[in-house]
Amino acid sequence: MQILDEVSGGLSPNSVTTNTRRRDGGFALAYEKAAAAENEKAAEAEKAVSQARQDKAEAIAATRQALLSELHDYLKKSPAEHIRDAVLKELGLSEESLAAMPPEQRAAMEAKINERIREKLLGRKPEAEEGAAGLFEPSGDESNGAPAAALRMALANTPQAMLKEA
């Protein structure tokens, strides 16, 4: 027993087992702490990924809604309104700036806008106003007169045409 006491440094077998457990317990505790920290990091990373996915989904939904709204606004307008908007944009005007003009200047701009609309619809400039009137009548090869009717319809709803009627 004396040899055992010398080898163990005077420790009893129970104290050696206790020290071993403490050492093992310290390792297990450190391992548990490291595993918990790793799990916490993984949970934070998963939460960040989840938040990024949610942000991306919200951005997609907002973009989709904006596009649907733009499409809805586009579909509400008639072809004549689209052409008029394009002509106004070419001239650097808006409906609001046109409405703010004095009546004489507005009438002149409306005439210019109507001329540009005719150019776009017909694909060429009319030589004279009298010559353009003949374009509204169907020619011999146009039995249904659909292009002329479309042009009359597009120009009928313009403010210039409304001013002439009044």
d(CA 59, CA 137): 52
- Using CA of residue 8, residue 14, residue 18, residue 23, what is the dihedral sign? positive
Using CA atoms, how far residue 11 sits from 1, 7, 23, in Å, is 11, 9, 16
* Rounded-to-integer distance, Cα 56 and Cα 38, Å: 27
What average pLDDT does the chain have? Answer: 75
pLDDT in tens, 122-136: 877 655 444 444 444
How far is Cα 3 from Cα 164, in angstroms, rounded to an integer?
A: 126
Structure confidence at residue 119 (pLDDT): 87
- Of 95 and 17, the structure prediction assigns the larger pLDDT to 95
